[in-house]
Structure 1
Amino acid sequence: MNDLLIRPASRSDVPAIMAMLADDPLGAQRESPDDPTPYLAAFERLAADPNQHLVVAERGSRTVGTLQLTMIPGLSRRGATRSIIEAVRIHADERGSGLGTRLIEWAVEESRRQGCLLVQLTSDVSRTDAHRFYERLGFEASHVGFKRVL
């Protein structure tokens, strides 16, 4: 893992991120990697927002992982800032290599560095392997989540 670099994503990373987002049963249903337009527009919004941290993991010149870390200032918990880890994806060739752990550890450390008192994430109910992974890293299943498609 010494040859791994975790860095802010650039516009040129978007195609590799799109491919990783689509490379699983859930992503295959909801992503459209043939049309980069909405992804590039979203990248521009993320890049302009100081509370958003879209990163990639790079080995050599190859993008092998990604996640988005969002900082959320709030009034609850005595005015605490919390972070949310989203869209964690590991290239199929790298799954099981420890890369996911490295990315989550980076997100937790960056959250601490930014003064967050809590880091949270959600995971689709069908991703039972991911749930075990997050529990192994110290996350606890604590809430019931709800979504409403608009």
Structure 2
Amino acid sequence: MLYRAWRWQVFEGGEAGQSLEVAGVSEGRTAGQSLEVAGVPEGRTAGQSLQVAGVSEGRIAGQSLEVAGVSEGRIAGQNLEVAPASEGRTAGQSLEVAGVFEGGEAGQSLEVAGVSEGRTAGQSLEVAGVSDGQKAGQSLEVAGVFEGWKAGQSL
């Protein structure tokens, strides 16, 4: 699996408004973020919801990220798809994580398969191989060596 390297360690990021759990039945609840990468994900917070296992749903006012099962992730600002025939198109983002990646949106382009690079004016997200997603606001890695650093977020 993509997140095999760190999936079962008990991870608890202690950030100002963050909680990270990556083992067993994760819950991770904070004022700003919730990140779950194992068991039955639920992750619901006022700002973000990130699910990377089981049947992901991740729905919040700002972001939705799904990286397992049949992803749909639809929100007012983002649409992330990480399953077979992904197309993910929104006003700000386009994320394709399988097959032939294209992602050409007005704001973002994300590639999460093979040798990912995904670079746009707003975000870079990599979820396969050696990730290095760097952005002024977000960095998300969900495989291999996990780093994800952000001013107010750590994933």
Q: Same fold (TM over 0.5)?
A: no
Structure number with the bigger relative contact order (C-alpha 8 A, sep ≥ 6) is: 1
- Give the TM-score, by structure 1 length: 0.33
- Give the TM-score, by structure 2 length: 0.33
Greater helix share, structure number: 1
Greater strand share, structure number: 1
- Which structure is larger by alpha-carbon Rg, 1 or 2? 1
